Structures are given as C-alpha cells and as structure tokens.
Amino acid sequence: MQHRRRTEVITEVAIEWLIRLCGISAIVFVFGIFYFVFREGSSYFFHGFNIKEFLTSIEWFPSSESHVRYGALALIAGTASVTLLAMLIAVPFGIGAAIFISEFCNQKMKEFLKITIELLAAIPSVVWGFIGLTVMNPLIIKLTGAPIGLNVLNGGIILALMSVPIIVSIGEDALKAVPDSYREAGLALGVTRWQLIYRVLLPAAKNGLLAAVLLGVGRAVGETMAVLMATGHAVKIPTSALDSVRTLTATIAAELGEAPVNSEHYQVLFIIGILLFLLTMTVNLAADLIVRGIRSR
C-alpha cells in the first residue's frame, strides 16, 4: 500500500472527529434543551415553588396582586382532555386508514393515499389554528348550539387531524411487518377479511399500533399554536366537550411574552416547559422502545 501524504492523514483524522462531533450533537442538543430550560426555571423551582399546589390546585393566578397562585391542575386537565378527545377520534380513524392502506389498496392507490397523508402532516399548526378560529368555531356553534365554538371539541378535532398522519404511517409500518404467511394461513382457513383483521392482524401488530398511538399522543400533547387559537383558553376543568379549556403549551405561548425575564411567573412557565419535555420524552421513548422491539424480533 502506498504511503499517504501527511496532509491527507491529517484531513482524514480531522474529518473523522468532526463527524463524531456532529454524531453526538443530537445528545448534546437534548441535554442542552433540558439544561437551558431548567436553568431558567431552577432558582424558583428550588426556592419557593410549591409543587403540591402546582399539581393539585386549579387556581392559576400568576399576576394576582393579593395572592399569587400557580395551580396548574386545570391546565393539565385541559391538555389531557384535548389529547384524549383527539385520540378518541384519531386512533380508530388512523388505524382504520392504516388497515385500508395496507390491506385493501392496490399499489397506485396506496401511493396516492400516502402522499395525501404526508401533505396533511405538512400543514403548519398556525394554519390549523386559523381554521379552528374561522371555520370550525361558527360551524360548532351552528351544529351543537354551544354558546361558543372554541372548546375541547374544536381543539380535539384539529389535534386529531394533526396526529392522524403519524398514526397512519407508523400503524401501516406495523401492519406491513406482519408476515404474509399469517394472512395466507388465515385466508386458507376460509376466514373473512373482518376476522382476519380482527383476529390475526391486530393482535400480531398490536405493539406497533401501540407505538403509533403513543407517537400520536406525543404530537397532540406538544402542539401549541393550534390549541392556542382553537380551544378558547379558559382556566377550567372541563365537564363536557363543549367547555373551553387552556392547555399547558398554550399557557406558555400566551404568557411568556409578557412575563418579565426571571420573574417568578417567567420561571414557572419554564417549569411547565420542563414538565412538557419530560412528558413527551417518556411517551416518545416508550414508543421508540416498542418499535425497536418489533424490529429486532
């Protein structure tokens, strides 16, 4: 083997290090996000922050002059209710669509539907919020007779449409991973397509579908602009789908701009950020582990 020139060797080593550096960048960023978000909220978190009040009180009075209270329960309930409704809509439809695409479609149709879903996923969240504000709001008032159309229902439908693409694409992957021999065995036994789906495919793909749902949940919990504009923004534990609520994400978006830097309120908003970070991290990692588990099988 011929000898390499010295500069070549140096370049090689330098580039290798650069690549390593970029390789670990994702880890650096994730820790960076945690560190910097927590850093902004930490001094209040360790001095004076009442975690029990934060998690159990519904009284969110960040700017009261007599008695400031940071009870985030209503905000947590807001996020939970909108996410729950979104999943009630998105999970059956998303999995139904995944089944249709993977089991009933010819190649052309499949391609077309996948592209459409990809485009659906690309719609920016502020456009969704705008639609919620201008289109869905009057529609919901007209159809349900609710006094106001900015509510859990509105946000839930929008979040459902936003998280359905991810459920479909991961769900379809999961169904695709079920070996064809399962299907052939079922059909040879003379079962109907219904039975095949219900008794064979869904149980076989259930982990993948669970991962799909989890990723959908992650998406819905973290969504900001759409829920800020469409859910009505009321601090309240909802008792029906027609109540207005406020989510954790929307609270940060609405209040951060006017909270003076390093004030208590500002720091509490960063603590909410950390809560969201941990929440979505748990959900996403769980989904990732499940998907990986399937692949390695």
Partner 1 sequence: MTTTPSSPRTAMFQRTSFTRRKEHAEFAAKMIFLLMTLLMVIPLVLIVGYLVVQAWPILSLDFLLEVPKRGMRAGGIWSPLLGTIYLVVLSLVIATPIGVLAAVFLNEYSRESWFTRVVNMAVVNLAGVPSIVHALFGLGAFVLFAHIGKSILAASLTLAIMTMPVIIASTKEALASVPMAFREACWNVGATRWQTVRHVVLPNSISGILTGVILQVSRAAGETAPIMFTGAVFFKAIEEGRIFAYGLFDQCMALSMHLFTISTQVPDVPHALPYGTAVVLLGTVLLVNSLAIILRIYLRSRKKW
Partner 2 sequence: MKASDRFAFPSGFLVAVPTALLAASLLLNIGCKREKTLKKTIIQNSGSDTMVNVAQAWAEEYAKVAPDVSVEVSGGGSGTGIAALINGTVDIANCSRRVEPKETEAAKKNSGKEPYEFMVGFDALAIYVHKNNPIEQITLEQLADIYGENGNVTKWSQIGVQMPAGADEIIRISRQSNSGTYFYFREAVLGKGRDLKLGSRDMNGSKDVVELISKTPGAMGYSGMGYAISEVKKLKVAKKKGDPAYEANVENTLNHTYPIARPLFMYTLGTPAGVVKTYMDWVHSEAGQKIIATSGYVPLPKP
281 binds partner 1 (CB under 8 A): yes
Which of partner 1, partner 2, none interacts with 24 (beta carbon under 5 to 8 A by kind)? partner 1
Interface of this chain with partner 1, residues 71 to 90, rule: CB under 8 A: none
54 binds partner 1 (CB under 8 A): no
Nearest to 86 by CA among 290, 246, 277, 227: 227
Which of partner 1, partner 2, none interacts with 176 (beta carbon under 5 to 8 A by kind)? partner 1
Task: Give how far Cα 120 sits from Cα of 113, 166, 186, Å.
Answer: 10, 10, 34
Which of partner 1, partner 2, none interacts with 15 (beta carbon under 5 to 8 A by kind)? partner 1
Give me the least distance between CB of 152 and partner 1, in Å please: 19
At a CB cut-off of 8 Å and minimum separation 6, what does 230 contact? 128, 129, 132, 133, 136, 137, 150, 154, 155, 158
Interface of this chain with partner 2, residues 141 to 180, rule: CB under 8 A: 141, 145, 147-150
Element (H, E) at 217: helix 206-222
Q: Is 4 buried (19+), middle (13-18) or exposed (0-12) by CB count in 10 A?
A: exposed
Q: Long-range contacts: 133-136, Cβ < 8 Å, 24+? A: 133/229, 133/230, 136/230
Which of partner 2, partner 1, none interacts with 64 (beta carbon under 5 to 8 A by kind)? partner 2
93 binds partner 1 (CB under 8 A): yes
Give me the least distance between CB of 218 and partner 2, in Å please: 25
Which one among 260, 295, 296, 297 touches partner 2, defined by CB under 8 A?
260
What does the alpha-carbon distance between residue 259 and residue 154 come to, in Å, rounded to a whole number?
28
Binding site for partner 2 (CB under 8 A): 58-67, 74, 137-138, 141, 145, 147-150, 228-229, 232-236, 244, 246, 254-255, 257-261, 265
